[in-house]
Every structure is written in structure tokens, then in C-alpha cells.
Structure 1
């Protein structure tokens, strides 16, 4: 759900007030802010319509950077933060509020898919959250959540490795969809409307073990208190950082090499390598940021807390901006840019969102999408709801 971790946890499940910056846990906000930018950089391939293994020259160098340091890393963190957010809402507002939020996110994600962009992840996360809703009401301990999440991820990786081992020869399949210059928004709307149910079901069928595992790992981190009190988990955070560097980084370099190969076998190997390297190096990033938070040395990274608090609004805005730039009913840049200009464009939009998010939070406690979702979940202003300045 693009979770919104907050500090206070009242004994009774009442609608919580919007939390002031000084009262928030800094680690989840920072990780979400970094993740929303990293995900945009990777999503540019889909927005722009280029194949990673066809990049040459500076575009190839940019694609190597994306695969090594971004691809799979931040989407893994995002999924874990979604799981952590589910547990926080359950603790703070109860199971029915959580159920209502998940259903609303499913509706919002569906509209995002049909009206704006077929790469929506909100609806998929909401569906998987609904699968976990009833078991989560039993309040399983952190170790059960961690073991269950790890087991599901390993099982899914084993399935994908099996697929890759069975791959035959052939040219790599491209998922880039052609967009003729005369394609209207209404044409894409009808196409996405027809594809939505099948795409969502396909995403669940293919990815549910992996994504459920990530949600459970995020819940385990929340239940253990890692997100709230990273200073108590320095040994764990150092271990995550070391694992990311020793295992995640070499696997990420392997991913960068795989994505230069134009074979079907490479396409199938890309999936487990991308997601395993993404999880390991993503956890390494979380370990590094957690250690900085624990030591009080966040420095310039603190700026990413603002877009992290507005993650849902920023995610939706990214889709609106990039589809307007690339799709035929906008500026029509689809298929005309390679990895390097797309990376620079993503960083430029990310920098703008960094600035706009900070300015927005000087006047409002939440982003527009977050405020709308909160109103729909809790009704009008809940008990104690007010604009509290940090």
C-alpha cells in the first residue's frame, strides 16, 4: 500500500491522527523516498519503449548502471514497506480498517492501470495483501513472519531457476509494445480495460509466492521493531549491508551482463537473478540507511523523507508525467530515446518531486492522494485529526 509508518500506537484501534514529521520514524520515510526514485528509473524502460539488451554506447553504460544498482532493488524494498504498513495499520486501527484500505487501494490501482498506465503495482499489492489479511489477524510473531517470507521467496526462486534450466534456444522475447503515432488515449483505454483482469491474474499466478514473501519479510521487520528502533539492530543492519555487498552486488553485475544477451535463455535467467540480486542489494541499502539513521548521520539523505511521505502521490504523478511525455497522445517520444536520456529524465523528475514534496509538506500534513485515501478509510476527520506542524 505505499505504507505510512507512524510512531504512536494507541492501545485501542482508533483512527490515528496524521503524524507530524518530528514524531515519525525516519527510516521508513527515507527508504520510501529513495525507492520511489529508483523505481521510476527502472520503469523508464517501459514508459519509453526500449529493450535493455539493444542499448549501445552511452545508453549501454546507463543500462549497466541501472541493472547493477537499481533494477529489482527498490521494488523489493517497496513491497516490504507495503507489508510493514499493513501490520502498522492493523496495530493502530484494527483489521476492518486494514481491509477497507486494501479494497480502496485495489480500486485506486485498477483505475491507475486502466486510465493511465499498464505497469500499475498498487492493485497487485492490494490483492496479495487481501490474501494475507485473515492470517494476519492472528498476529503471528516476527520469527514466523520471517521464516514464512524467506521460505516463499526461496521456493519461487527455485521455480524460476527450473524454468531457466529448461529454456531452449531462440531469440529473446521483447515485452515492448508498439505504439503507432496515431494511437489515441481512448484506444489505450479500451486495450487496458480489456487486459486488466488477465494481467492482474497473471501477475498473481506468476509472482504471488515471491511478493507474499516480501510482504511477510516487511511485516517481520515491523513486528521486530527494526523500522522503529534501528539503533537496537546495528548488528543485523551491518549483516544486511555486508550481504548486499558480498552477494547482492556480484549478482547485480551478473544481471547487467545477462541483459546484454539477446537469447530466450537469458530472458528466463534474468528473472531469478534480477529479483534475488534486487532483494539482497536492496536489503544492503536498507542496512546502510538504517545504520546512518541509528548513528544520527543521515545528512543530505534526509531530503528523501519528504517524497517518501508522499509516495502514493508521487508514484501516480510519475505515471501521468511520463505517459504524457512518451505516449502518442502526448509528446510522442515513445521509441525515440535510449537508456541514458531516460535515466537523466527520471532523475530530473525525481529531483523536482524532491523539491515539490518538501514545499507541499510545509503547508499540508499529507499528499493529495494520501489525504483522499485517509478520508475514505477513516471517514471525515477522525478523533484527534488535525494539522500538526513538525
Structure 2
């Protein structure tokens, strides 16, 4: 059974995925730079005025905003697959087994990425925490929302760290300054082993946005845009507003006291980090809602956008359909430019120069993704994942007949 053709996919989630790829890449710049001491959000303490301007913009728009958006969409995808599974009459056990294969393959891809290319890989954590969501999604009434709420304190731990990291004296990740590729592989391998051992504990924060996404998929929030417009509009406005305002206090530290000559309180920095992190979850929900509304507008609902705007939205949507391939392609590009054993731009560039490379690389992938989309083809890693893991939807010939739901009850 083939998955949904590219032309029939909901535009909102793919548009949001394409945007989140840029947000994650900008936030992950810190994983490639080294040699200068960190301030809040792992930014380099010293830099030019242009570097600091870029840092503030990233702190406002990308840090702690890209990853919860991607996690929310990941959970939304799991929810969609479970919903289709139920519609075909498949029992929960068969769904869990099929998704288990898929997440196991994703875990393998993530391990290869984390060891060979980039220690800041998210795929390992997504595969492990995503499988927790798979196990919980059939129990959507209590277990899934409860798990998401329980994970919120873990999300706060990440936020607290983003603030107090300024007082640690660190100056980059060890693998960023590794003298050789093999030395970098050795450092990254040790980190991957630790993450595998502690993933359920260390990465539990991802469960909050993933659970939220899976729950939203039950009501088709990002797919049936016209039916949910009255909900999507306030979610977009309030979510984006809270996301922006909640980022201002910690981002202002980069402007007012980047060297921490006056602001050296770990408690205050930690609280600002908490605010930055939790508001980022609201911002991710707002951006997902806004992307659904924008994609529907471009598709034909409401006032038509300009031709250039429509082309840009369609291009970013196409990039979202190959997000796995694009995510790893970014690491290949950065590996060729930033380590000491390649061009060593990680020691020579600040935030501004690095951001130019990140944005340029993201833009360069859009025409390639659009070409694949027009031909109805998926990205190379999307094809690999499907071939190794099997189809994401059940074969209707093997699914069991669905049991009629008693009138008045909820599925």
C-alpha cells in the first residue's frame, strides 16, 4: 500500500516543516563554532555588532522555537498515521509493530548522522521518544495528555540550562574543535552512547510537543483548515505573540550585558531561560497554525497571494516533504566548511557569517526539493526509510474489519 501521493498531502504541516528546518539550522550553529566563550543560549560572548544583531534575531525567532515545532509536527504525523490505521480497521498491536520498524530504521539513520556528521542530531531522540508516543497514542484520552504534562518540567530543565550556561565558561563543543575527522568521530561516538543510555530521561522534554501534536491530529487541525479557521486564527495570533514576547527577556541579555559584568545571577538567568523555553512551545503551535492558514490561502482559499509569495510558499512546502534528506544534507555542507580539518570556518566566523551560510544552504535546497516534488518523487532518505521500514499505512486487505462505535460514544 503506497503512502499519500505528494500532491494530496496537507500543505500546512509541510510548510511548517520547511520553515522549521531553517530554524533548527540557525539554532544549531552553536554546534559548529568554537574558540570563544559562551553567553546565554550558547551564543559566543564576543563578536561584532552584526554578530550580536544576528544572535538577537535568532534568539527571538529560532532558538527553542524550531525544535518544538519540528517535534510537534513529528507527533502530528504519528497521530495522522494512527487515525488512518483506525479508519482501515487495523488493531493497535499491528500499528505499533509497523511503527516500531519505522522508528528503528529512523534510529539507525540518526545514529549514523550523530557519529559521522553532527553530535547535535535530533533523529535519535525523535526515534526513541516518538516510539513512546506510538505506544501511548491508542490511549489518547488519559495516558497521552498526561505524559505530555508530566514532560513539561523536563522542558523547563532545558530552558534553565540555556540561561545558566552563560556562567559555565565553556567555549564550544569538544567535537567542534577536534583536530581530525577520526577524533571527531570518537568524541561523537561517546556522546551517542550516553544519549542512548539516557534518552528516555534526557530527551523526555520532547514528549510535551510530540504529545500535543498527536492530540491535535485527532481533530485534523492542520488539515481541515476551513473547518478549524476560528480556532487556527487565534492560535496563530496568540501563539506567535507569546512566542515573541517570551523570548525578549533572555534575548535582551545579549544586548544589555553579553559579558555578564552586572548580570551574574544563575537564578535570574535560569528563570529567563524557563520563560524562553516555555514560550517557544506556544510559538511553535502558533507557527504551525499560521502555516496551515497560509498554505490554504496559497492553495486557493481566500485572497490570492502575489505570484512570488505563492512560489515561495510552494517551494518551502516542497522542502518540507523531504525534510529528512534536507536535515542531513545541511550537516554534510557544514562538515565541509566548519571543522578544523576542513576550512575551519568554525573558528574564524561569527554568528553573522555563519548565518549567511545557513540561510544560503537552506535556500539552495528549495529548487531541488521543488524539482523532486513536480516529478512526484521523494527525497533519497525518505525512500530509504520507506524501503527499510515498509509502508506507513496498513494494507486494507490485511486489516481487520472495524468494530462499529456505539452511538453517542467517542473513538
Q: What per-residue deviation string (whole Å, max 9, x for no partner) do you get for residues 315-361 of structure 1? A: 00101110111012321212211111111111100110111111233
Q: 2:281 aligns with which of 275, 279, 282?
A: 279
Q: Are the aligned partners of 2:156 and 2:277 in contact in 1 as well (CA < 8 Å)?
A: no
Structure 1 residues 55 and 254: CA distance shift in structure 2, 3 A: farther
Given the alignment, which residue of 21, 40, 49 partners 1:36? 21
Q: Indicate the SS of the match to 2:345.
A: coil
The change in CA–CA distance for 1:23 and 1:339 in structure 2 (over 3 A counts) is same
Q: How does 1:68-147 map to 2 (within 5 A)?
A: 68-92=60-84, 94-136=95-137, 138-141=138-141, 145=144, 147=145
Shift of 1:152: 3.0
Larger radius of gyration: 2
2:317 corresponding residue in structure 1: 305
> d(CA) in 2 for partners of 1:20 and 1:235?
29
Match of 1:156 in 2: 154
Secondary structure of the structure 2 residue equivalent to 1:224: coil
Distance 1:306 1:46 in 2: 27
- Distance (whole Å) between structure 2 residues aligned to residue 271 and residue 277 of structure 1: 10
Q: What does residue 188 of structure 1 align with? A: 184
Shift of 1:120: 0.6
For residues 128 and 161 of structure 1, do their structure 2 counterparts lie closer, same or farther at Cα, with a shift above 3 Å needed?
closer
CA distance in 1, matches of 2:322, 2:361: 14
C-alpha contact 1:103 1:126 (8 A) present in aligned 2: yes
- 2:290 alignment partner in structure 1: 288
Equivalents in 2 of 1:261, 1:30: separation in Å? 38
Give the match's secondary structure for 2:218: helix
C-alpha distance 354-270 of structure 1, shift in aligned 2 (>3 A): farther
Q: State the alpha-carbon separation in 2 of the partners of residues 179 and 373 from structure 1.
A: 28
* 2: CA distance, partners of 1:120 / 1:289: 25
Q: What is the deviation of 1:383?
A: 7.2
Query: Alpha-carbon deviations, 1:151-188, whole Å to 9, x = none?
Result: 235443566788899x7x99344261256977111111
List runs of 5+ in structure 1 lacking aligned partners: 1-14, 385-390
Q: Which deviates more from structure 2 when the two are superposed, residues 343-352 or residues 53-62?
A: 53-62
Q: Give the secondary-structure state (helix, strand or coil) at the position aligned to 1:48.
A: coil
Number of equivalences: 361
Q: State the secondary structure of the residue aligned to 2:348.
A: coil
Instruction: State the distance in 1 between where 2:160 and 2:13 align.
Output: 35
Query: Any conservation in 2 of the 1:185–1:329 contact (CA below 8 Å)?
Result: yes
More displaced 10-residue stretch of structure 1: 181-190 or 58-67: 181-190
Question: Do the aligned partners of residues 261 and 244 (structure 1) sit closer, same or farther apart at CA in structure 2, a change above 3 Å counting?
Answer: farther
Shift of 1:302: 2.2
Report the alpha carbon displacement of residue 85 of structure 1 after superposing the two structures with TM: 1.7
CA root-mean-square deviation: 3.0
**TM-score scaled by structure 1?**
0.83
Q: Secondary structure at the match of 2:214?
A: helix
Shift of 1:149: 5.9
**How many angstroms apart in 1 are the aligned matches of 2:161 and 2:346?**
32
Cα distance, 1:205 vs. partner?
2.2
Residue by residue over 1:217-272, the C-alpha shift from the partner in whole angstroms, topping out at 9 and shown as x without a partner, is 01011111112212211222122223224422111111212443644726634542
Aligned pairs for 1:1-390 (under 5 A) are 15=1, 17-49=2-34, 51=38, 52=43, 53-92=45-84, 94-136=95-137, 138-141=138-141, 145=144, 147-148=145-146, 151-156=149-154, 171-174=167-170, 176-178=172-174, 183-202=179-198, 204-208=200-204, 210-259=205-254, 260=258, 262=260, 263=264, 265=266, 268-269=270-271, 271-295=273-297, 296=301, 297=304, 299=310, 300-363=312-375, 365-378=377-390
Give the TM-score of the pair, scaled to structure 2: 0.79
What's the offset of the Cα at 1:214?
A: 0.9
**Alignment-derived partner of residue 388 in structure 1:** none
* 2:33–2:347 Cα contact (<8 Å) kept: yes
Q: What CA distance in whole angstroms lies between the structure 1 residues aligned with 2:319 and 2:32?
A: 21
Separation in structure 1 between the aligned mates of residue 176 and residue 222 of structure 2, nearest angstrom: 46
Asked if the contact 1:153/1:214 (under 8 Å) is kept, the reply is no
Question: Is the 8 Å Cα contact of residues 175 and 188 (structure 2) preserved in structure 1?
Answer: no
